[in-house]
Amino acid sequence: MSTPFNTPLEILGGISADVFLRDYWQKKPLLIRQAIPDFVSPLDGNDLAGLSLEEMVESRIVLEHGETPWQLKQGPFDDDTYSTLPERDWTLLVQAVDQFSPEVAEVLEHFTFLPNWRIDDVMISFAVPGGSVGPHYDNYDVFLLQAEGKRSWKIGQMCDNESLILNHPDLRILEEFEQTDEWVLEPGDMLYLPPRLAHWGIAQTDCMTWSVGFRAPSTAEVVTNYADFVARFLPDEQRYGDADMSPVQNPSYIRPEDIKRLRQLISEQLDDDRMLLTWFGQYMTEPRYPDLLVGSDISADDLQDTLNQGAVFTRNPTARLAWSHIQLDTETAVVFFVSGNSRILSEHLVPLLDLLCCADAVYIDNLEPWLNDAEATTLLCELIKHGSLECIDE
């Protein structure tokens, strides 16, 4: 269950979610000392290096003084990579560690005051003294949790697409950094940064930082992707029409009335709440690593048996779930989004959706009320077939 908006939250340094959203979110940075008191990282630098050897995992190393300044090496790496690195000034960064480590994914439980479909991943970096990825800005909100060691964080100016960037083939490092503040973060401390704020983290000791990053599609992505989605439902016969046209005086001239027709054509197609919700829910729940969703066939009877025998199911960390209400022609229904797909369901399933989206696990005790409901059991079987629900125990 979610916390009331005005309750002080430790993760936000004692301010409430509504104050945070009003004063800081997407506006200004917030330093939170001991956001997670006595935080102990469940993995260390060696574990992270181990992950960076895996084919499935996205990793990179930034060396400030490599073969070229700010050299970027892309993973997967091998043991030799690590034996040849210098003692100082490099950082290993591994994306989406929450997808591979349930202990890391647990940190996301602190952020339930924000929509989960806005969360991108938990990126983890390990740096040796002096390690840094240079001054830069990101287009996303991020919470930087210091997990091990000490890192200094400098913050600077608000940037935009005109900000000067070093001429580098892979990295977007700022040419100018106008420092406004600097803090040294220790384990458990956290820094929230809004999008486009220049920042520069430099390891003071061997250190590890967890970045809880948020996703926001660019306007260009929204416009092109939504238009593509809508277009899939439009027959070729449906076209620009001007049955109401008056004779033209200059055949080369595009008149305001021609543009008015065009605007109407576009807005009729694009301004449709049902299409917008369907597209948005599907788009925002697209999984990062769809190959990690491996399902298994199950019938409603098998489901009942396996639950009776003590099976416990959890959400696959790759699966993204969200739901909403949708207006159909004559009634309101519920639409459930699962990893890029959508399904219309009856309203009475809302408590089950809450359970599936929020509970740590589902098993006979919390699923019992739903096992005689055909719509509910069909949904559960589909989630298992699709790999969104995984059996962890029997």
Using CB distances below 5 to 8 A depending on partner kind, what does residue 201 bind out of ligand SIN, Co ion, none?
ligand SIN
> Six-digit token pair at 392?
């962890």
Using CB distances below 5 to 8 A depending on partner kind, what does residue 133 bind out of ligand SIN, Co ion, none?
ligand SIN
Using CB distances below 5 to 8 A depending on partner kind, what does residue 91 bind out of Co ion, ligand SIN, none?
ligand SIN
C-beta nearest to ligand SIN: residue: 125
Residues 6+ apart with CB under 8 A from 302: none
User: Is 138 one of the binding residues for ligand SIN (CB under 6 A)?
Assistant: yes
Say which amino acid occupies 216: A
In terms of CB distance, is 125 or 282 closer to ligand SIN? Answer: 125
Number of residues that bind ligand SIN (CB under 6 A): 10
CA distance 272 to 11: 38
User: Is 110 one of the binding residues for ligand SIN (CB under 6 A)?
Assistant: no
Binding region for ligand SIN (CB under 6 A) out of 48-56, 125-133, 290-298, 319-327: 125-133
Using CB distances below 5 to 8 A depending on partner kind, what does residue 99 bind out of ligand SIN, Co ion, none?
none
Q: Please name which of 193, 205, 206 lies closest in space to residue 154, comparing C-alpha atoms.
A: 193
Using CB distances below 5 to 8 A depending on partner kind, what does residue 211 bind out of ligand SIN, Co ion, none?
ligand SIN
Q: Is the dihedral of CA 264, 269, 270, 274 positive or negative?
A: positive
Find the largest Cα–Cα distance for the chain.
81
Closest approach, Cβ 137 to ligand SIN, in A, equals 9
Closest approach, Cβ 91 to ligand SIN, in A, equals 5
Closest approach, Cβ 191 to Co ion, in A, equals 11
For ligand SIN, the binding residues in 284-343 under the rule CB under 6 A are none
User: Is 138 one of the binding residues for Co ion (CB under 5 A)?
Assistant: yes
The helix (H) or strand (E) run that includes residue 207 is strand 207-214
Residues 6+ apart with CB under 8 A from 162: none
Among 11, 133, 338, 379, binds ligand SIN (CB under 6 A): 133
* N- to C-terminal Cα separation, the chain: 27
Whether the Cβ atoms of residue 34 and residue 12 lie closer than 8 Å to each other: no
Cis peptide before 8 (omega within 30 of 0): no
Using CB distances below 5 to 8 A depending on partner kind, what does residue 389 bind out of ligand SIN, Co ion, none?
none
Whether the Cβ atoms of residue 95 and residue 57 lie closer than 8 Å to each other: yes
Classify residue 130 by burial, with Cβ atoms within 10 Å: 0-12, 13-18, 19+.
Answer: middle
Number of residues that bind Co ion (CB under 5 A): 1
In terms of CB distance, is 69 or 351 closer to ligand SIN? Answer: 69
Closest approach, Cβ 144 to Co ion, in A, equals 8
- Give all strands of the β-sheet with 207-214 in edge-to-edge order: 30-32, 190-193, 142-148, 207-214, 119-127, 90-94, 59-65, 69-74
Whether the Cβ atoms of residue 130 and residue 88 lie closer than 8 Å to each other: yes
Binding mask 192-221 for ligand SIN (x = CB under 6 A): -------x-x-------x-x----------
In terms of CB distance, is 9 or 159 closer to Co ion? Answer: 159
Whether the Cβ atoms of residue 353 and residue 359 lie closer than 8 Å to each other: no
User: Is 59 one of the binding residues for ligand SIN (CB under 6 A)?
Assistant: no
Closest approach, Cβ 70 to ligand SIN, in A, equals 13
Binding mask 94-133 for Co ion (x = CB under 5 A): ----------------------------------------
In terms of CB distance, is 17 or 191 closer to Co ion? Answer: 191
Per-residue buried b or exposed e for 50-65, using 16+ beta carbons within 10 Å of the residue's own CB: ebbeeeebbbbbbbbe
For ligand SIN, the binding residues in 73-102 under the rule CB under 6 A are 91
In terms of CB distance, is 154 or 261 closer to Co ion? Answer: 154
Residues that bind ligand SIN (CB under 6 A): 91, 125, 127, 133, 138, 142, 199, 201, 209, 211
